[in-house]
């Protein structure tokens, strides 16, 4: 009985310890970012590495990652460069899914805000599982821009048969007599 | 007729799936109503959050002329 009670108290303490341990406060986050298009192609890796370093230093671990790809934005975004505003209509879009504490995500947010090469970023809570849809979205029709639509060749079959004038006259006569 | 999310067993809506999200916005860039989109309330909330994230990140427009 005493042993059982001890076990019970042990269990409770274990649960309480779990709730307060830093491991239990780890959450899954995803960061999406746009790097300004003026950054050279070879320097992109360095910018991503700096983001990864911030996460790693704060005790985060990586789950998945999408490499930055240059894409056209739906609207122009303004970034402060020196003492003037510059508008960009393109950006290198990349994302990282990671597991970390709340504090680490806040640290990353501050680091990205201060980074001048980051045009815009977003950090939000997500789930560990893959969230991308694996389906192909149905489209009405697929026409490649390079394709040239050629009109179908118009076949006219030559059905005319040589008819003699005598036969023609006879046919007309039969028609008129009727 | 089940909606596109139910048909394909999509549990989570990702803001990066622009082609999927475009199924739920009209030519002006506004979200279609739940009645028209045929989504459940839970799905509509998930799509709404994803569309807003995609707009903020410039993947979808706020308004389209």
For A101-150, the pLDDT digits (tens) are 999 999 999 999 999 999 999 999 999 998 888 877 777 666 667 767 67
Residue B13 lies in a domain: yes
By residue range, what is the domain housing residue A113?
24-125
Whether B13 sits inside 8 A of A131 (CB atoms) is yes
Whether B61 sits inside 8 A of A74 (CB atoms) is yes
Strand ranges (E), A48-166: 61-81, 84-100, 118-125
pLDDT, position A176: 86
pLDDT, position A92: 96
Q: How confident is the model at residue B21 (pLDDT cuts 50, 70, 90)?
A: very high
pLDDT, position A26: 93
Which residue out of B9, B21, B48, B57 would a mutagenesis test of the A interface target, given it has the greatest number of A Cβ atoms within 10 Å?
A: B57
Q: How many domains does chain B have?
A: 1
Q: Any idea what the CATH number is for the domain that residue A119 is in?
A: 3.30.70.60
Whether B14 sits inside 8 A of A133 (CB atoms) is yes
Residue A13 lies in a domain: no
Residue-wise pLDDT for A85-98, tens only, equals 999 999 999 999 99
DSSP structure string for A128-156: SS--S--SPPP-S----TT---PPPP---
Q: How many domains does chain A have?
A: 1
With beta carbons under 8 A apart, name residues in chain A contacting B17. Answer: 132-133
Residue B63 lies in a domain: no
């Amino acid at each position: 009985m005493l042993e059982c009670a001890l076990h019970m108290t042990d269990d409770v303490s274990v649960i309480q310890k779990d709730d307060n341990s830093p491991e239990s406060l780890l959450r899954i986050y995803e960061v999406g970012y746009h790097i300004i298009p003026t950054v050279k192609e070879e320097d992109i890796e360095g910018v991503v590495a700096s983001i990864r370093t911030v996460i790693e230093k704060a005790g985060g671990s990586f789950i998945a990652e999408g490499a930055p790809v240059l894409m056209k934005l739906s609207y122009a975004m303004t970034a402060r460069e020196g003492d003037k505003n510059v508008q960009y209509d393109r950006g290198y879009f990349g994302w990282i899914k990671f597991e970390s504490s709340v504090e680490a995500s806040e640290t990353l947010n501050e680091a990205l805000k201060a980074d001048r090469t980051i045009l815009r970023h977003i950090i939000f809570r997500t789930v560990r599982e893959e969230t991308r849809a694996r389906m192909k979205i149905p489209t009405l029709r697929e026409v490649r821009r390079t394709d040239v639509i050629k009109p179908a060749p118009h076949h006219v079959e030559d059905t005319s048969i040589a008819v003699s004038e005598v036969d023609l006259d006879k046919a007309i006569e039969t028609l008129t007599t009727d | 007729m089940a909606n596109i999310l139910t048909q394909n067993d999509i549990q989570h809506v990702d803001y990066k799936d622009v082609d999927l999200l475009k199924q739920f916005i009209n030519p002006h860039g506004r979200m279609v109503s739940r009645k028209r989109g045929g989504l459940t309330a839970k799905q509509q909330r998930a799509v709404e959050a994803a569309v807003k994230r995609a707009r903020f990140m410039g993947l979808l427009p706020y308004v389209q002329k």
